[in-house]
Structure formats: C-alpha cells, structure tokens
C-alpha cells in the first residue's frame, strides 16, 4: 500500500502536466487510504504538495504568456486570507466528535472525508461535462490562437473584473480549500472565465498560480498546529513534480479532451467509494 501511495504521487503530477489540473483531488485519498495518515493531517500535507506541484506546473503556462498576474492577485488575495484563517483557526476548532446518529458517530475525520468526497463528485462532473473542443493533443490545445505575433496574450484576452463576484468567489474557494486540502481548480477556472472574462486557456494557467499561492499560504497556518514530517513531504512532492514533467512531455502526444473525460469518471468512482467507505464500511 505504501508503494501504491508513492505511485499515486507520480499520478498526481502526471495529471497536472497532462490536463492542467485534477490530480490534486487524489492527494488526500492517497495519503489517507494508501499511506495511512489521518484525514486532518492529510489535508494539511495536501496543501503543501498541491501548492508546490501547482507552482511548478504554472511555470509552463507563464512561459507562454498564459498567466494573468493581475487576475491572480485580485482573486488570490481573499483566497489566501480565507485558506490561512481556515487552517490556522477553523479546522483546529472543529471538535473531534461532531454528532451521533443511532450509534453512528460522525467524527472530525469522517466529516472532512465526506466533504472531500462531495468535492470529488462535483469536480468529476465538471470534467465529464466539459465543452467539446476541436480534437488535438493537450499541448496543441493550450495556446497559439490567443497570442499576438510577439507570443503575448492579445488585448482581447485582458481581464475585465467583476470585483464583487471575484472577491466573494475567492473567499469561498479559499475556505473550501482550507477545509479539504484540494486546489479547487474546477471552481476557480469557471470563476475566472465568468468574473474576469478570461479566455479558458488563460484561466487554466492563472488558476494554477492561484492554487499554488493559496495552498502554500494555507499550509503555513498548519505549521503552528501540527508536527510536520518534512522528509516525507519532500519525497512525495518530488515524485509529483517528476510526474508533472512526464505529463508535460506526454501532453504533446495525447488528446486532452478524451483523457480529461476518462479521468473525470475515475474521480467520480473514487468519490462514491469514499462516501460508501466512510458511511457504511
């Protein structure tokens, strides 16, 4: 099981490199079910792993001019504040035993895993029901058509902010990230498209930078509350980063739309499994 856990680290990075997201949703289940960590510490470790791998992944998009730094700042600030406050104060304040129904005790760990499983189900639906795009490899579908002759985003792709919506969405996503330890890219990307009027490809690259910033700042809140196994975190994160580079290489050869749909079904099955395991097994 431990070997499978480290293999999962590669898969997490592989997904990020291939389709620009999704892999972080597997981090907590891998840490809990394969490596035997508690749900609470797993959500903390996940923030560090997801943050570091997303930071590396965002660099690929930044080099192509597919990261809007202004948007990342506007969306990221409330998200960072929310995730830090959630990890520093809210999660430690949740009681270990929340309530009991007919002899079934809902603990803090069960509650976090059920919340995470619900996030997995919603994330999987967003991947399965993705808009149909022209067939091509993941790399071919990333940019080109939104860049000017200098390789920079065209003026048509500059953000136009709905500040109220994007600030509120940033705070909500930050709180959710703090609770479950996942990046929430499936929530961030639609918000960037809706409230910042970004092109989808710019939204993907920008979301990775936002995920990196808020996850790493959220993890800082955990340093005060838990004893951190830094050696384990470095090894697991390093494997995820190796997966990113492997995924980036394969992205030139694999059709991204089919891969993302298949991955969505896998995440859906995993989410349903976690719900069943926590409630009935």
Taking the CB of residue 198, how many other CB atoms lie within 10 A of it? Answer: 26
Output the 3-class SS for the chain: CHHHHHHHHHHHHHHHHHHCCCHHHHHHHHHHHHCCCCHHHHHHHHHHHHHHHHHHHHHHHHHCCCCCHHHHHHHHHHHHHHHHHHHHHHHHHCCCEEEEECCEEEEHHHHHHHHHHHHHHHHHHHHHCCCCCCCCECCCCCCCCCECCCCCECHHHCCCCCHHHHHHHHHHHHHHHHHHCCCCHHHHHHHHHHHHCCCHHHHHHHHHHHHHHHHHHHHHHHHCCCCCCHHHHHHHHHHHHHHHHHHHHHCCCCEHHHHHHHHHHHHHHHHHHHHHHHHHC
End-to-end Cα spacing for the chain: 19
**Whole-structure pTM value:** 0.76
What angle is formed at CA 4 by the lines to CA 126 and CA 113, rounded to 5 degrees?
50
Whether the CB-CB separation of 207 and 69 falls below 8 Å is answered with: no
For residues 43 and 207, give the distance between their C-alpha atoms in angstroms, rounded to a whole number. Answer: 20
pLDDT at 143: 44
Whether the CB-CB separation of 253 and 137 falls below 8 Å is answered with: yes
Q: Domain-by-domain residue ranges, the chain?
A: 2-280
Whether the CB-CB separation of 157 and 146 falls below 8 Å is answered with: yes
Residue 25 in tokens:
């949703």
pLDDT tens across the length of the chain (281 residues): 788 888 888 888 887 777 666 666 788 888 998 999 998 898 889 889 988 888 888 887 888 888 888 888 888 889 889 989 998 899 899 999 998 988 888 899 899 889 888 888 887 887 787 654 544 444 444 444 445 555 555 554 566 667 777 788 788 888 888 887 776 776 787 778 777 777 777 887 888 888 888 889 889 888 988 889 999 999 999 999 998 888 877 767 766 667 778 878 888 888 898 899 888 87
């Amino acid at each position: 099981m431990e070997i499978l856990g480290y293999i999962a680290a590669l898969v997490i990075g592989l997904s990020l490199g291939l389709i620009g997201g999704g892999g972080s949703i597997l981090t907590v289940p891998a840490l809990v079910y394969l490596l035997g960590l508690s749900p609470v510490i797993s959500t903390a470790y996940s923030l560090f792993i997801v943050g570091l791998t997303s930071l590396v992944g965002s660099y690929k998009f930044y080099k192509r001019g597919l990261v809007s730094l202004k948007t990342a700042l506007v969306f990221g600030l409330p998200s960072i504040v929310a995730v830090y406050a959630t990890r520093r104060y809210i999660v430690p304040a949740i009681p270990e035993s929340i309530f009991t129904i007919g002899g079934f005790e809902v603990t803090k760990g069960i509650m976090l895993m059920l919340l995470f499983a619900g996030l997995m189900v919603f994330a999987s639906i967003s991947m399965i029901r993705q808009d149909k795009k022209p067939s091509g490899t993941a790399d071919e579908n990333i940019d080109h058509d939104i860049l000017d002759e200098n390789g920079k985003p065209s003026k048509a792709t500059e953000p136009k902010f709905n500040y109220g919506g994007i600030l509120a969405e940033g705070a909500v996503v930050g709180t959710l990230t703090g609770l479950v330890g996942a990046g929430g890219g499936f929530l961030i990307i639609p918000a960037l498209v809706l409230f910042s009027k970004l092109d989808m490809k710019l939204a993907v690259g920008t979301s990775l930078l936002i995920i990196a910033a808020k996850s790493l700042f959220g993890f800082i809140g955990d340093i005060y509350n838990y004893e951190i196994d830094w050696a384990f975190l470095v090894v697991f994160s390093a494997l995820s980063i190796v997966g990113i580079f492997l995924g980036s290489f394969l992205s030139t050869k694999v059709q991204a739309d089919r891969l993302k749909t298949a991955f969505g079904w896998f995440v859906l099955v995993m989410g349903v499994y976690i719900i069943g395991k926590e409630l009935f097994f």
